[in-house]
Structure 1
Amino acid sequence: MITAVNERATLELVLAATPLTVTSGDEITYTLEVRNTGNIGTGEVNVTLPLPNDTQFISATEGGVLDGLNVNWALANVPAGETLSLNLVVRSADGLADGVVIVAQARGTAAADPRGEQLSNEVRVNVNALRVANLEVLKTPAAPRVLAGESITYTIRVRNIGNAAARNVLVTDALPAGTVFESASMGGTFAAGTVSWNIAEIAAGGEATLTLVLGIPANTAAGTVIRNVAVANSADDPDGPKEN
């Protein structure tokens, strides 16, 4: 008995976006998987991803070309059982209102797929117009160990990973027991056992780097553990004080 095998390519398009929530001016990366679940190669594949609403083109991989309001790819072949990934990077437009939805959907054809044009899933990216600061504190000592009678230098990085400036940032560092204040950079002041810094503004995506030098008394016992915590706070960060 002879069993006939139907040879054909089967084109599937799977679209994803990162991130799924943005504010105006943020970048969005779309990843389009071009899959061939058939048993022969696709031959020529033509894929189109219309530029999503309220976005501006930045770049496309694998030879993607912007033509008017469409990004087009011409692929020579996708072998049977294989997947080719295409990336499109766009920027959300300025001044978008809260609640706007950016919608994207791709379409494509394969020479060896008799079904004709295929559509990807629809991807929706939500616009959140709320802009807030988000502080993060990273604190590291210059060395993990120090001898009695020596000094230890801490580097304090206060980063703003939010999408709005953090203004009037107050950074405080209460000195651990058994240490002596020696110096602080960036205008840090020492009073009542605490070092304080007042930073006028840290821009979105920016950071301030501070240093604090403490002395370790000569009579400090070997094995003493020094624990030191820095705290940063700004009224523009709705999550409140951050520490490390």
Structure 2
Amino acid sequence: TPSVPGFWGDQLYVRLALDPGLAPGTQLTNTAEIATTPDADPGNNQSQRNDVWVGDPYWNASVYKNFGWGILVPGGVIEYNLHVRNNGNVAASFTVTDALPAGTSFVSAWLQQGPTNVPFPPDSVDSAMAVWDLGVMEPGDWMNLQVRLAIAAATPVGAVLENCARVAMDHGDAWLMDNESCHVALVNTPGPNLVIEKTYQWNGGGQLEYEIQVRNVGTTELSNGVFTDTLPADTTFNGNWWHWFQEPVTLTHQSAGQLAWTFHRMEPGWSTGLRFQVDLDGGVAGVRGLAFTNTVEAPVAGDVVPADNTYTVTAYSGPDLYIEKQHSGGQPVPGGYITFTVEFGNANGGPWSTSAGTHLTDTLPAGMTFVTATVPGDPSQPWLPETVDGNNVVWGWGGMGSNNSWFFDLVVQIDPAATSGDVLMTTTEVGSDDPAQDAEYDYSNNTAAATIIVEAPFQIYLPILFRNY
């Protein structure tokens, strides 16, 4: 480039074609470098990625949906954001289907192209669904859509608007868990209706960054609104905050334990957001197993849904190992084979990976026998346990990075001697190999159980035929 302005940055996407002769498992190293003269700090002018390997063909489509904006009353409007992505390593043709909630109708759709949005009408639409043929998406490609629906004037207050988007591709999808995404909203009484929400992220082990979203989903313009944030104990506001509202937002109060901002006005359908940072006090920075609870409040006189004027989040330091389990297949009859699908991982973000490896232990009840564990939907890929000791089955797992999850199918057999009405509960537990180093604040989600009740086997009765000869 001929020149780069100060305090400016951008992204460049480079797509490379692999040599057809490369074998799976081949490591790929890519280096990018920028140079200029003079440069005050040339030490950060190069970046390298060497954590990519050639793999076998893999197909995976995903979709994610969230609320964009809306006026959630009879006769109002609601708009959703859809993010569609090819997570595989092979190009494929994609379609997206959006199931319209009862009491709504399609209005318009837009496709994000760089900094602008362009009209993107569906290929087919009726009162129940809208369908887009997205064409061929290359590996890593994504599309962002905005879909706007009208809420019918006859839709009653209290109606639940559940909107689900589903993505499909012209090949078998290796991972079906991310093929559908839904959002649920309620139709409310006309009047003032402010909604406030809050999320957080860790910036290393000593700083929390919060994002506050404020939305006017009612029918009344809001003026001089104030939202007050009560900081967690053992934290200090470091002065960094910023917002992205077209109207002024002012920090009008600051004390050791509270911050308050004021917005001038917010018309129906408008929203704003801001971020701010707090530093953990020296004695707790980096310490695992702690909780930092934070509440933001934005009371509005006459709000038709005052319950959503307050939002509380709790940030945990250290990993947050979790496990979930559900009966996903098989008839619970004597001698029958049952499949449980197990999800496990580390739900915490930031730097909070485990320091040690982890293990999963499944405890089967009397009357149930372990058969196998496999990749969900693919019995040809087994996950062999480290040990099977009676009714205890143990698998070893490495360290768990932050915000990671995995799945497996657990197949068991019910004892042929079981009787109808027997209650069988299987329990799975996950934990670090060094619980002192990987202290967690909340251990309640480290164990999951699934229960089945044995049913009487099906019996088929054939008619008796009599013949006279």
For normalisation by structure 1, the TM-score amounts to: 0.56
Q: How many residues align?
A: 185
Q: Choose which of 193, 208, 211 in structure 2 pairs with 1:28.
A: 211
- Aligned counterparts of 1:131 and 1:148: Cα–Cα separation in 2: 46
Which residue is 1:148 aligned to? 334
Per the alignment, in what secondary structure is the counterpart of residue 202 of structure 1?
A: coil
Per the alignment, in what secondary structure is the counterpart of residue 201 of structure 1?
A: coil
Which residue is 2:271 aligned to? 86
Which residue is 2:251 aligned to? none
Q: Choose which of 330, 334, 357 in structure 2 pairs with 1:168.
A: 357
Which residue is 2:198 aligned to? 18
* Structure showing greater relative contact order (alpha-carbon pairs closer than 8 Å, 6 or more residues apart): 1
Deviations 1:124-153 (A, max 9, x none): x9xx8x731011211111148512122111
Which residue is 2:406 aligned to? 208
Q: Choose which of 388, 395, 398 in structure 2 pairs with 1:191.
A: 388
How far 1:189 moved relative to its partner?
A: 3.4
How far 1:208 moved relative to its partner?
A: 2.0
Contact kept? 2:330, 2:339, Cα under 8 Å: no
How far 1:31 moved relative to its partner?
A: 2.5
Per the alignment, in what secondary structure is the counterpart of residue 393 of structure 2?
A: strand
- Partner AA of 1:29 in structure 2: I
- Aligned counterparts of 1:212 and 1:179: Cα–Cα separation in 2: 12
**Closer, same or farther: CA 170–56 of 1 in aligned 2, 3 Å:** farther
Q: Choose which of 363, 371, 388 in structure 2 pairs with 1:182.
A: 371
Contact kept? 1:181, 1:190, Cα under 8 Å: no
Which residue is 1:139 aligned to? 325
How far 1:212 moved relative to its partner?
A: 1.4
The reply to whether residue 221 of structure 1 matches residue 221 of structure 2 is no
The reply to whether residue 243 of structure 1 matches residue 432 of structure 2 is no
How far 1:192 moved relative to its partner?
A: 1.4
- Aligned counterparts of 1:74 and 1:17: Cα–Cα separation in 2: 19
- Partner AA of 1:187 in structure 2: L
Q: Choose which of 210, 215, 231 in structure 1 pairs with 2:429.
A: 231
**Closer, same or farther: CA 91–189 of 1 in aligned 2, 3 Å:** farther
Which residue is 2:103 aligned to? none
**Closer, same or farther: CA 183–152 of 1 in aligned 2, 3 Å:** same
- Partner AA of 1:18 in structure 2: K
- Partner AA of 1:87 in structure 2: T
Cα RMSD of the aligned pairs, angstroms, is: 4.7
- Partner AA of 2:353 in structure 1: A
- Aligned counterparts of 1:237 and 1:215: Cα–Cα separation in 2: 36
Deviations 1:44-71 (A, max 9, x none): x899x9xx933466x55xxx379xxxxx
- Partner AA of 1:179 in structure 2: M
- Aligned counterparts of 1:131 and 1:201: Cα–Cα separation in 2: 17
Contact kept? 2:321, 2:345, Cα under 8 Å: yes
**Closer, same or farther: CA 53–140 of 1 in aligned 2, 3 Å:** same
How far 1:209 moved relative to its partner?
A: 1.3
Structure 2, gaps ≥5 residues long: 1-193, 228-237, 249-262, 283-311, 375-382, 449-469
For normalisation by structure 2, the TM-score amounts to: 0.32
- Aligned counterparts of 2:196 and 2:416: Cα–Cα separation in 1: 60
- Aligned counterparts of 1:207 and 1:98: Cα–Cα separation in 2: 28
- Aligned counterparts of 1:224 and 1:189: Cα–Cα separation in 2: 30
Deviations 1:214-240 (A, max 9, x none): 111222211211101111112224245
How far 1:23 moved relative to its partner?
A: 3.1
How far 1:160 moved relative to its partner?
A: 1.6
- Partner AA of 1:174 in structure 2: T
- Aligned counterparts of 1:183 and 1:91: Cα–Cα separation in 2: 49
